[in-house]
Amino acid sequence: MKRLFSMHLVLIVSVLAILPSAAPAAESASQKCYLLSYFLGNGEDGLRLAASDDGLHFTMATDRFLLKPEVGGKLMRDPSIVQAPDGTFQMVWTTSWNDRVIGYAHSKDLIHWSKQRTIPVMMHEPKARNCWAPEVFYDAATKRYVIVWSTTIPGRFPKTAETSESKYNHRMYYTTTRDFKEFAPTKLFYDPGYSVIDGFIAKEADRYLLFYKDERRYPEAKKVILLATADRAEGPYTVPAEPIVPHAWVEGPSAIKLADKWTVYFDCYTEQKYGAAVSKDLKSWTEITEQLKVPPGTRHGTVFEVDRKILDGLKGL
């Protein structure tokens, strides 16, 4: 009997040895987390980051700003960060309310940053009033970065003049680059027939997604987030009819796919809080603002996934 038991034990151990282990998958999942880049106030102090394990509950990754604005109008608003294939984090931001440039810097760990510089995206337009909310997207299909932002150029698009505050009449423009040294000439990116700001590009299967804000104020306030689609990162994009959620007076959309759902985050700026909505099919959306937690004062940023070692480095500051 003892000999038979020993033989069974050896057989069981042998079978377990060849079975695939679940540990690597669990370990791999634990190595990922989410960061939210954001700014406080008017963007005077610099880049802030919050961290989350589930994409819903964010706490400060570190209790200080990580990069003080030094270029353009010396603000760091709307920080947009994307991680390149080589691991480098590329960031662009709004440097002023009325600059014709955007800010740029890069980092390997989100702690030590390159020297800041400006990208003169609208310097060829002497009447351009601003360059707001630049967003950077890496397009794997073309191996290029697409940078989009919004600008008002007085006299352009006269049919929709006077539809936004302070005579703004925004359209989205863009440039592309492979190395952040040479840039393609600036072109019109998106004109749905009305004033738009805060474009954010993402990719789902074989189509590209453009989340943006309808910036019209008159004759009736819109101020909602919509979703347009295209077959190419550079468009042309569709013109949607309905906002993704009825929540108005929101801006700064950022989107990421968590498990089988897309989550879109937005700045409820008149209520001084952050909001979110989820969807499985990118058609039907459910607002989950009450489930979202972010640091007090969080303003317009970007949510992105990182290895946990990046977060560990930030917590060690």
Please spell the DSSP secondary structure of 240-273, one letter per residue.
-SS-SSS--S-EEEEEEEETTEEEEEEEETTTTE
Domain with residue 296: its CATH number is: 2.115.10.20
Alpha-carbon distance of 170 to 190, in angstroms, equals 10
**Structural domain harbouring 195:** 2-315
DSSP character for 171? E
Overall domain count for the chain = 1
One-letter amino acid at 165 equals: E
Banded model confidence at residue 317, pLDDT cuts 50, 70, 90: confident
Mean residue pLDDT across the chain: 92
DSSP character for 113? B
Banded model confidence at residue 214, pLDDT cuts 50, 70, 90: very high
CB burial of residue 12 (10 Å; 0-12, 13-18, 19+): exposed
Contact 55, 34 (CB under 8 A): yes
pTM, whole model, 2 decimals? 0.90
The residues that bridge with 212 in the sheet, in sequence order, are 226
One-letter amino acid at 230 equals: A
Q: What is the CA radius of gyration of the chain?
A: 22
- What's the mean pLDDT in 310-314? 95
Q: Is the peptide bond prior to 219 cis by the omega test (within 30 degrees of 0)?
A: yes
Dihedrals phi, psi of 87, to nearest 5 degrees: 95, -10
Report which secondary-structure segment, H or E, holds 15.
helix 2-18
CB burial of residue 34 (10 Å; 0-12, 13-18, 19+): buried
For 316, the 3-state DSSP assignment is coil
Banded model confidence at residue 309, pLDDT cuts 50, 70, 90: very high
The confidence score (pLDDT) of residue 84 equals 97
CA angle 266–270–272, rounded 5-degree value: 70
